[in-house]
Structures are given as C-alpha cells and as structure tokens.
Chain A
Amino acid sequence: MKSWGPPLLLLILAVVLYFALPFNLAFLTRILIMVVLVLSLDLVLGYAGIATLGQAALYGAGAYAAGLFAIHVWADPVAGLFVGAGAGAMLAFVSGLVLMRTQGLTLIMLSIAVASICLEIANKARDVTGGADGLRGIRMEPVLGLFAFDFIGKTGFWYALAVVAVVFVVLALLSRAPLGLSLRGIHESPERMAAIGVSVYWRRITAYTIGGGIAGIAGALSAQITQLVSLESFSFTLSAEALIMLILGGTGRLYGAVLGTLIFMFVHHWAAANDPFNWLFVIGALVLAVVFFLPKGVISAPPAITRLLKGGRHAGS
C-alpha cells in the first residue's frame, strides 16, 4: 500500500544508519526514543488538536516509573515499558481532567505548569528519585530474556527500533479507526462534534491519555537504555524540542513526526558538535525558518516546491 511506503523507507534508513554510524549508536538510539515521544505529541496535537507544551511531564512520569520499577520490582524491559505507559497514561488522565477544560494560551501554560510541578516533586523526593543527581542504578535484564544490553548499545538500538515500529503501527491503525476520525473531527470543528452528540471533553481526555501512555513508553525506553533518569526528563526544553520536531516535520501524518525528529536531532548534533556554545543560534534560526517558510512542516516541502516549479514554468511559457 502506498501509505506504508514512507514509513518503510524510514525503517530502511534506520538500518542503513546503524551500519553507517556504528560509533554513534547512543545518538541513533536517542533519536529513536525522541521519535516515540514526538509521535505521542502528534497524536495529541496533530490529530486531536490539543496544543500542549508539557509532553515532558508524561515522558518523565514514564521514565521515573520504569526506572523505579526496574530497581525495586522487576528489571524486565518489556514489563517496564508497560509500567511506563501506565504511568504516563495515568498522569495524562488525571491532569487532563483539568487541562482539557481549557484551551489556547491557558492550556499551553497549564501544561507547562504540570511539567514544572512534576520536576519539583522529583527534585524534592530525593530519597526516591535521587533528586538532582538523577535516578541511578537501573540494571535491566535481557530483552525477552534473550538479548542482553551491551555497552556499545547494539541491543539498545534494535530494542528501541522495535518499539518505534510497534508504536508507529499502533498509531497508524488508530488514525484510521473511528476514534482517529473523531479526533480529527474535534480538531477541525469542536462545535460540530458537540452538535452531533459527542462529549468533546471526554474525547480529548481519551486522546491525551493514549498520548500520555505513548510518551510514557518513550520515557521508559530512555530510562532502560541509558540506565539513568535525570530531572531533565521533565524539563520545558524537552517539551519545546518535541514540539519543534513535530512542527518541523509536519503534524497529523505520523511520518512527519519521524522526519522532523531526524532532521532536528541531526542539526542539533552537528551544531552542538561544531560549536558547543552557540548551537542555540542554529536551532533558533531553524525554528523561525520553519514557522515563516514551511509552516506545514518539511513533508509539505515537496508539494510546495512542485507548485513553485510549476508556477515558474507557467510564468515562463
């Protein structure tokens, strides 16, 4: 099927990158984890139209839950993913009860505030979370009892790639299901959804909760693979970067999220490596360039360019 082409290409790209950059597996794995986070944001923002700037709260909840679960209960990675998903979904549901009553600026701000509270709680509960030192001592068992995590990061990479693929497929199916259609409906016209007998509030909470579960999975992945959860998991910067990656790629199409994450992470990596002090210039300029010149993201670029070329040809003839 045509719509499976782009994601399949991305999967191949991931494998190619694995062999092309064998000494950067930690970086590539980091990209995969961010892809999961940005995909979760695409569901919430791209599909359901819920503009939040606090996706890090859900990510961090998953990361800490999975980390603590591995340390104190069971170090099985897959079980940990479920725990992370549960924590993210739970936080999304509870905070969603309040957040989804608001919209616009108030929603954006409250979602930042929720992440700030989480950060503060994690900072203060030093005995449990390790506070500013981060949660350490996570030692994972082999994935499915078969693949032990190695220090080069090969297992981590394949494990993360498998999770990305599963999450992508689940979201692709969800976006074609009735729920996906109704979320697009809410995005397009909440008034009309109410007029056809839908409680927009509960539908938005549902979307936010599912998105929270996926963001929690991203956090859990990060905790398991890096064996560390830091306060940064809850940071505004992480939420903002996830948003930038999504808009950069293009919302509401899933593979836009993947593309945006790839571009952002590579630009970030390159800029930070070349000039560790001034890379924010590059990111800032990149963000402004996207907003002004590609408001619908990079995936809108080919049609835009085509139109431009066509226009040029028309003008010439």
Chain B
Amino acid sequence: MQGLEVRGLSKRFGGLTVSEDIDFDLMPGDRKALIGPNGAGKSTFSNLVTGILTPTSGTIRFDGSDIGRLNEAQRVRLGIAKTFQITTLFRDLTVRENLRLPILERERRGFGFIGRANGHTAIEAEVDDLLGQFALGGLADRKVADLAYGQQRLVELALTLALKPRVLILDEPAAGVPSSETHLIVDAIERLPEDLAVLIIEHDMDLVFRVARQIVVLVQGRILTEGTPEDIAADAQVRELYLGGGHD
C-alpha cells in the first residue's frame, strides 16, 4: 500500500496518555489538516510519525513496510519530512546555502571534500527552481537571519521540500507570521507538487479551511472526528469545542 498508514498508535509519558489508539492514513495527493485545542497531542503525533518520539504501542507503516523502529534521519531518507514550529534554519548561511545543504545531503554528497559545494550544475539548477517556486529569488544571497519572519517560513518550507519528500508534515507553518504575510504561506502550500502527501498541523482555522481537503480533529490524544472542511464546520461537537473556549 502507498503512503502512510498508522494503526492503534499510543504514547504515554509516565501515567499521562498523550496519544491514544490513533488510526490515521495519509495518501499521495492528500491535503489533510490536524486540528485540536492546545495539549490535544498534535505535536506528539507528528513527532511519533517523524521518529523524534517512539510510540508506546501501535504501528506506523510507510509504503507497506514498518518504519516504527527507524530514527529521524532514516525516515527523512525514506521521504518523510517535517517543517518546524519554531524555525531552526541555518541563520548565518544565505538562503541559497540553506537550500543547497539539504539537496547535497539527499544526494549523499555531504561528506564530499573535493570540489566546491556550489559546483554541481544539477543541484544549483534545483536550488534555482526552489527559489523561483517560493519567490525567494531576490533574497537568494541574503543571510536567513536578515529576512522577515514570513520569508523565513518560506525558506523553511523550501528547505524541507528540497529533500524531495513524499510525505510532508507542516507543523504550524503560519505560526508567528503576521496576517499580512499569511497569503505567502497559503500560496506556497497551494503550489506544492500535486502527488505529495501533505499533513498540516495548524491553529489558524482560516488557513486550514483554505488549504485542507480533509480535516482530522484531535482531542485529548484521541481522534474526535474526521471529514471534509464542510463536515467539520457543520459538526456540533467541533463547534462546541472551539466556541466553548477550547480555542486559543
């Protein structure tokens, strides 16, 4: 089976259950959003999928094979990549270098000590493509530390996409981005390759309803409900959850 297949996933920290019996699928072409109040276990779930945390029980399969025992770096090489909530970009490197780095690693050239890092025509062309796709061309030789926050999020997205992932997890892609710049993020997400499997974890309901085709609602570590944006908007339980003060 293609894509990501999660069955009966649970995670406990001591006596505290933060993920409970989660079944979840993510297929090529999916645009799913994971929403839920603070402390619902959204970040824990994404950390379980990317291998930062190990589950207490349950299975995670990717293209039919069990990846539950692989570490973060191994899962990245299989094609499961994640953006970060708080940017951990290479702040003192230029935008171009930030994008070159993951491509070199993806191509297994990271140990190369002969030749220049910018000496691979194909890699440079790919960097240029990414710069163009995210409208970062004009900022290519600026240091990331000097960019506006919204622009940094774009670099973040471009960098993760440079790994050519097949599953992309966007952890709060618009966090900290001023509302005047969120359209940049929305545009970028809408232009992602069509066959990519995308999971968006987000607080901003506006953004979720604009880009997601399926929404999964997580509450207290469990899946409350799942459906199209229209279903979710009409769901009484969800309305209760968000209007009842759970929203932050």
Q: Do chains A and B directly touch (beta carbons under 8 Å) in the complex?
A: yes
Q: List residues of chain A with CB under 8 Å of any chain B CB.
A: 173-174, 176-182, 184-185, 188-189, 191-192, 194-199, 203, 206, 210
In the complex, residue of chain A having the shortest beta-carbon distance to the beta carbon of B106 = A197
If A196-B105, A197-B163 touch, whether A181 touches B97 (CB-CB below 8 Å) is: yes
* Cα distance A182–B112 in the bound complex, in angstroms: 10
What are the residues of chain A within 8 A of B118 when measuring CB–CB?
176
* Cα distance A176–B163 in the bound complex, in angstroms: 21
Q: List residues of chain B with CB under 8 Å of any chain A CB.
A: 72-74, 76-77, 81-82, 84, 88-93, 97, 100-102, 104-106, 109-118, 159, 163
Known: A192-B159, A196-B159. 20 other contacts (CB 8 A): A173-B113, A176-B116, A177-B116, A179-B110, A179-B111, A180-B117, A181-B117, A182-B104, A184-B90, A184-B92, A184-B97, A188-B92, A189-B91, A192-B89, A194-B73, A196-B76, A196-B105, A196-B106, A197-B102, A198-B73
What are the residues of chain B within 8 A of A210 when measuring CB–CB?
113
* A182 CB to nearest chain B CB (Å): 5
Contact A196 B102 (CB under 8 A): yes
* Cα distance A184–B89 in the bound complex, in angstroms: 12
Contact A192 B88 (CB under 8 A): yes
Contact B115 A177 (CB under 8 A): yes
Contact A177 B112 (CB under 8 A): yes
Can you offer 25 A-B residue contacts whose CB atoms are under 8 A? Answer: A176-B116, A176-B118, A177-B112, A177-B113, A178-B109, A178-B112, A178-B113, A179-B112, A181-B100, A181-B101, A181-B104, A182-B110, A184-B92, A185-B90, A188-B89, A188-B91, A192-B84, A192-B159, A194-B72, A195-B81, A195-B82, A196-B101, A197-B163, A198-B73, A203-B110
* B115 CB to nearest chain A CB (Å): 6
Complex A-B, nearest 3 residue pairs according to Cβ-Cβ distance, in ascending order: A197-B76, A188-B90, A178-B112
What are the residues of chain A within 8 A of B100 when measuring CB–CB?
181
If A177-B116, A195-B82 touch, whether A189 touches B89 (CB-CB below 8 Å) is: yes
Residue from A173, A177, A184, A196 within 8 A of B93 (CB atoms): A184
* Cα distance A178–B163 in the bound complex, in angstroms: 16
If A185-B90, A185-B93, A188-B91 touch, whether A198 touches B105 (CB-CB below 8 Å) is: yes
Contact B117 A176 (CB under 8 A): yes
